[in-house]
Amino acid sequence: MSFVDTLRQWDEAVTCADRQDLSEALRIFLAIQDPNSKISFDIGCLHLLNKDLDDAEKAFDCSIRKDEHLAVAFFQRGMTFYRKQRYEESLGDFQHAFKALRGNQLIDYKALGLRYKLYACEVLINMALAEAQLGNWEKAHENLVKALNYKTDAKLNIIDKALDSALKQKLFKLVEFPSKVLFKPNKHYVAELEKKDYLGKATVVSSVVPQDAFSGFAPLQPQVKDGPTSPKEPEVLRALEGEPHTVLFEFVPETSDELAVVPGNIVFVLQKAADNWASVIFNERRGLVPYNYLERLEMSLASKKNEARPQPPSREPPTRPERKSGLTLSANSSEDTEGKDEQPTDNSLIVKVRFTYTFAVSVPPASPYEILIEKISNKLKLSSTAFTLSLTSEATEQSVINDSTEMESVWSRASGVRITLWCNAEEQTDGNPQSEIPLVALHSYESSNPEDLNFHQGDTITLISRVNQDWLEGQSNGNTGIFPASFVEEVPVNGQ
């Protein structure tokens, strides 16, 4: 079976599963010849839903054989053994799953097509339960205490309940995987399977590359059936406003806001900073590139014929410039100042603060409370007593940050050089808090940019703030980020 056929059947199967037609989904999955590790995992999950434990075990065996590092497959096979009352084998698989986490608090499988996070503390709870079933209550207690080291706020309650039960030598609840959640094929590959309309409207254009002799109609492009194009239009318009440059040297990014380019690429420079960095657009993606890696092109309606295209330069690229100017790639427009982030000028921590709008400040590592509160106070132009900082969106006694807080515990929550805090002004928390506006997704939105919020059609999103005319900031499925305003609409209140 070809890769295309496998991809098509995989997509058809998960579509049936999404419609709750699980028997048809399983039939399509089983017709796939030589399934990969992810497909075998999906088959095992459907067998578990049907309580076909022997078939589920075989499917997870196949998944693990093809990817021995897939921790979630060990976790699911451990579940299968537990239901078959084969507790020693169940314990072994949970141990393998925990080992595959490599000391991390969790594994997020979203990038691999599975909307699921495997938490180390949950794996340890199941290890403890398997030990308890074998009568090893002391080891069960040790695993639960160990789970506290990997806890998250959301998981603390189930660990506490399990510990209480273990102390009384009573069995507790198994942490189960939602078996209706399946690995899905890469959406970009699936998009290539769709029929393409090659009779799209032609557009008169001219080349921005002087060596191209073409001036006439643009090649006909495949037409997208679903989803608005408006979020991409601002980038296209910006490209037309920017200055075209050709890339002279390969540039490998070192941070998430830098853009990878190679010699010969044509980029559009939107902004050049004094530190020799430029904000550019390439293939509708925006990022930073050293300006001394680029050479300006002149726009022309037609170019010279029979002129050889220049070869990439063979000389060494210039030294990478230092980032000093604070050139930012925030989704905000250049006119919006209240939502723009500060950029670190050294090894400072970036503190992202969620207020009525989102902003950021930079502070030295391990800063005391006084420095942090002064930075935020200056940014808001408010007295430090006029607002409250917290680790979560709700300012509880445990999450509030004040002058008695042990700041080392706050900074330990940072991911790399970034941390997110919440700010509540007294006038917002007293009396009339700002109402949260519910939105519903008209179309699915997925982006590789870390600041974006990904969601699926039909998902409910809570509006946090309006970044600008085209972009909003919101929260959905426990994640927060920005997204195109045209992808959502407000949920009608009382049916109106």
* Domain boundaries of the chain, sorted by first residue: 3-167, 205-296, 349-429, 437-495
Could you list the beta-strand ranges (E) of 324-399. Answer: 349-354, 358-363, 387-390
Q: What local confidence, expressed as pLDDT, does residue 236 receive?
A: 42
Structure tokens at 46: 């459907």
Residues 140-191: tens digit of each pLDDT: 999 999 988 887 777 778 888 888 888 889 999 999 988 788 999 877 667 6
- Residue 263 vs residues 46, 185, 250, 493: alpha-carbon distances, Å: 48, 32, 6, 54
Name the residue with tokens 């050139």.
327
Could you tell me which residues come within 8 angstroms of residue 488 by beta carbon, excluding any fewer than 6 positions away?
439, 440, 441, 442, 461, 472, 474
Neighbours of 290 (CB within 10 A): 20
Half-sphere exposure of 240 (CA within 13 A, CB side): 7
- The C-alpha torsion from 263 through 264 and 265 to 267, rounded to 10°, is 100
297 Rama sector, left if φ>0, alpha if ψ -120 to 50, beta otherwise:
beta
What number does CATH give the domain 205-296? 2.30.30.40
Q: Most distant CA pair in the chain: distance in Å? A: 87
* 241 phi, psi to nearest 5 deg: -80, -30
48's enclosing H/E stretch is helix 37-49
Q: Are strands 400-401 and 418-425 parallel, antiparallel or unpaired?
A: unpaired
- For residue 275, what are its two tokens? 């530190």
E strands, 120-238, in order = 204-206, 215-217
Q: Of 450, 445, 481, 442, which is closest to residue 463 (Cα–Cα)?
A: 481
Task: Please tell me the CATH code under which domain 437-495 is placed.
Answer: 2.30.30.40
Model pLDDT for residues 118-127, shown as the tens digit of each residue: 999 999 999 9
Residue 441's φ and ψ, nearest 5 degrees, are -80, 125
User: Which of 177, 71, 77, 161 minimizes the C-alpha distance to 144?
Assistant: 161
Q: Which residues pair with 476 in a beta bridge?
A: 479
Amino acid at 183: F
In the predicted model, residues of the chain with pLDDT beneath 70 are: 1, 188-189, 191-241, 254-256, 284, 298-347, 356-358, 426-436, 448-451, 468-469, 492-496
**In the CATH hierarchy, which fold is given to the domain comprising 3-167?**
1.25.40
Architecture of domain 349-429: Roll (3.10)
User: What is the phi-psi region of residue 28: left when phi exceeds 0, alpha when psi lies from -120 to 50, beta otherwise?
Assistant: alpha
Task: Judge if 205-296 and 349-429 fold alike in CATH terms.
Answer: no
Predicted pLDDT of residue 341: 44
At 421, give phi and psi (nearest 5°): -125, 165
- 347 and 362 Cβ atoms separated by less than 8 Å: no
What does pTM read for this prediction?
0.43
Sheet of 479-484, strands arranged across: 479-484, 471-476, 460-466, 437-441, 488-490
Residue 420's contacts (CB-CB under 8 Å, 6 or more residues apart) are: 351, 352, 353, 354, 480
Sign of CA dihedral 32, 37, 40, 46: negative
Residue 448 near residue 212 (C-beta atoms within 8 A): no
Supply the pLDDT for residue 344: 46
Alpha-helical segments (H) within 430-471 = none
- Residue 135 makes CB contacts below 8 A (sequence gap 6+) with none
C-alpha–C-alpha distance, residues 289 and 261, integer Å = 8
| Tokens describing residue 128 | 């403890």
| CB 483 within 8 Å of CB 455 | yes
How far apart CA 293 and CA 295 sit, in angstroms, is: 7
